């Protein structure tokens, strides 16, 4: 193909042109395959929620992608910033959340399978109901062998996931850097994180 590469395509005979096109297609596929093999997938997540149930999606996705060798960055902003605090005292709020039926983590199977449709009026007026619901959720997670949020966060760090804090939120809520784990990769604003998200193969807002 060396001589054929130098010749203008228009000067080739039909047979030569067909051979050149076949060679070009093969080379193109080889180059694209090599480029794909050398490419490291990237994931950018914006975590905005700070409740126990909403802490799982960003950490599960980030730790899984990190374990697969992806380049992962998670930007924790507003209430999501709670997920980077040293003290992970997270609760759930079933109030006004119809997607969260109450299930008991104890008793026989038929009892555990019952979805308790508790009215918002009851949940909003019973003292300590959110703490009770949190304990039930924690027990359910434990019974099913699901890792804790701290364990998932540690798994992210082991997989070299970049945990990034929103500096504006830190200032807004009056936090200091001492309130957070020392492994926070950076303290930046949206203007600095958006270019990272723009270049990522996958971007998620949670």
List, for residues 127-166, the tens digit of each pLDDT value: 666 776 777 777 777 777 889 999 999 999 999 999 999 9
- H/E run at residue 54: helix 52-67
What pLDDT score was predicted for residue 4? 47
Interacting residues of 7 by C-beta distance below 8 A, sequence separation 6+: 16
Query: Running DSSP on this structure, what letter comes out for residue 169?
Result: H
What pLDDT score was predicted for residue 143? 77
> CA 66 to CA 161: how far, in whole Å?
6
pLDDT in tens, 2-18: 444 545 656 667 777 77
The residue ranges of the chain whose pLDDT is under 70 are 1-12, 30, 32, 35-38, 94-107, 109-129, 132
Interacting residues of 114 by C-beta distance below 8 A, sequence separation 6+: 103, 104
> CA 116 to CA 113: how far, in whole Å?
9
pTM as predicted: 0.71
Q: In sequence order, what DSSP letters do the residues of 66-122 get, joined into one string?
A: HHTT-EEEEEE-GGGGGGGBSS-------TT-TT--B--SSS-HHHHT--B---HHH
What pLDDT score was predicted for residue 178? 93
Token readout for 173 is 């809520």
């Amino acid at each position: 193909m060396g001589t054929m590469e130098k010749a203008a395509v228009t000067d080739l005979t039909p047979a030569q042109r067909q051979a050149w096109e076949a060679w070009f297609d093969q080379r193109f596929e080889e180059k694209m395959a090599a480029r794909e093999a050398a490419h490291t997938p990237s994931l950018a997540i914006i975590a905005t929620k700070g409740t126990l149930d909403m802490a799982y999606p960003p950490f599960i996705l980030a730790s899984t992608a990190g374990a697969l060798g992806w380049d992962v960055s998670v930007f924790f902003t507003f209430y999501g910033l709670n997920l980077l605090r040293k003290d992970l005292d997270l609760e759930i709020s079933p109030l006004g959340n119809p997607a969260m039926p109450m299930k008991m983590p104890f008793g026989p199977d038929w009892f555990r399978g019952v979805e308790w449709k508790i009215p918002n009026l009851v949940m909003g007026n019973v003292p300590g109901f959110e703490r009770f619901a949190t304990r039930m959720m924690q027990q359910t997670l434990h019974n099913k062998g699901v890792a804790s949020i701290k364990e998932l966060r540690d798994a992210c760090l082991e997989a070299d996931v970049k945990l990034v804090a929103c500096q504006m939120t830190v200032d807004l809520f009056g936090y200091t850097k001492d309130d957070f784990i020392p492994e926070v990769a950076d303290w930046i604003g949206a203007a600095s994180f958006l270019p990272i998200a723009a270049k990522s193969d996958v971007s998620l807002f949670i």
